[in-house]
């Protein structure tokens, strides 16, 4: 069953059926370089370099959440920021970059995404992305999803904006959400990483170019991603956690 899409302001709504502390020296709203994805999930994961401390954190996270039932993961919400880029290095194709770093000589759309069984939301980030901007997105989109069921996992990484006191306070007010901060360098634990890879692949497959009609083309590509695929990303969590434990923290390349 294809996802039914509709525009809602700057957002594209696709309707379908604990981590480390804030890193020293980095302030919220600053750009934090992270690993980039360029079209193939395996290539993206290959760019991630895990330190021994990263692997230890990943194993600890996996052991703490290994016994969570699949039906609980299916109700989870995942949020992340990414840069959707076109014409990187003169190549007329789309790529996706997670974190603050953007490639030179490309058209870049800074976006925020939210994935759940209810659908996927992608909204363009305009201006500085700080804790106030993030809180507005949580109020606008996540609060409406979270009221459907209690409790519900909320997955996010350790980007400084996510760790701001303002955001911690937001989660204390929204008690229906159980905050799970993902370990550092763990794209295999973030369902949105794989979903965006699928989206970028579809954009390039349909040879979509950046134009005034891009919103229409993006909608069409999102429609090709069925609801069952979105749900399967969430249901993969138990398998991924087991893999991390059995392989001493290594990435599960999917």
Please write the tens of the pLDDT for every residue from 90-103. 777 888 776 556 66
In this prediction, residue 38 carries a pLDDT of 36
Domains and CATH numbers, the chain: 4-18+34-246 (3.30.420.10)
Residues (pLDDT < 50) of the chain are 1-40
Residue 251 vs residues 8, 59, 191: alpha-carbon distances, Å: 36, 11, 14
In this prediction, residue 206 carries a pLDDT of 84
Q: Going by C-beta distance under 8 Å and a sequence separation of 6 or more, which residues neighbour residue 183?
A: 19, 20, 54, 57, 58, 60, 61, 189
In this prediction, residue 153 carries a pLDDT of 94
pTM of the model: 0.77
In this prediction, residue 98 carries a pLDDT of 64
pLDDT digits (tens, 9 = 90+) for 69-84: 999 999 999 999 888 8
In this prediction, residue 137 carries a pLDDT of 95
In this prediction, residue 202 carries a pLDDT of 84
Q: Is the dihedral of CA 239, 242, 243, 249 positive or negative?
A: positive
Long-range contacts formed by 14-18: CB under 8 A, 24+ apart: 14/119, 14/120, 14/121, 14/122, 14/222, 14/225, 15/118, 15/119, 16/117, 16/118, 16/119, 16/120, 16/226, 16/227, 16/230, 17/117, 17/118, 17/227, 17/231, 18/61, 18/64, 18/179, 18/180, 18/181
In 118-198, the DSSP E strands lie at 119-124, 152-156, 177-181
Q: What is the mean pLDDT of the chain?
A: 78
């Amino acid at each position: 069953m294809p996802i039914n899409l509709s525009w809602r302001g700057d957002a594209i709504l696709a309707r379908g059926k604990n981590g480390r502390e804030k890193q020293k020296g980095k302030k919220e709203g600053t750009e934090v370089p992270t690993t980039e994805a360029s079209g193939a999930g395996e290539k993206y994961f290959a760019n991630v370099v895990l330190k021994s401390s990263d692997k230890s954190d990943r194993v600890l996270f996996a052991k703490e959440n290994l016994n969570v039932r699949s039906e609980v993961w299916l109700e989870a919400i995942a949020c992340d920021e990414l840069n959707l880029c076109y014409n990187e290095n003169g190549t007329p194709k789309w790529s996706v970059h997670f974190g603050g770093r953007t490639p030179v000589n490309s058209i870049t759309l800074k976006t925020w995404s939210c994935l759940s069984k209810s659908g996927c939301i992608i909204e363009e980030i305009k201006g500085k992305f700080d804790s106030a901007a993030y809180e507005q997105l949580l109020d606008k989109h996540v609060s409406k999803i979270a009221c459907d069921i209690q409790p519900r996992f909320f997955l996010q990484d350790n980007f400084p904006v996510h760790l701001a006191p303002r955001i911690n306070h937001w989660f204390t007010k929204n008690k229906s959400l159980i905050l799970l901060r993902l370990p550092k360098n763990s794209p295999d634990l973030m369902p949105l990483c794989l979903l965006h890879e699928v989206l970028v692949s579809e954009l390039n497959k349909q040879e979509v170019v950046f134009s005034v009609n891009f919103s229409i083309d993006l909608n069409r590509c999102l429609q090709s991603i069925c609801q069952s695929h979105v749900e399967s990303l969430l249901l993969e969590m138990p398998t991924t956690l087991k893999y991390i434990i059995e392989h001493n923290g290594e990435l599960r390349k999917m």
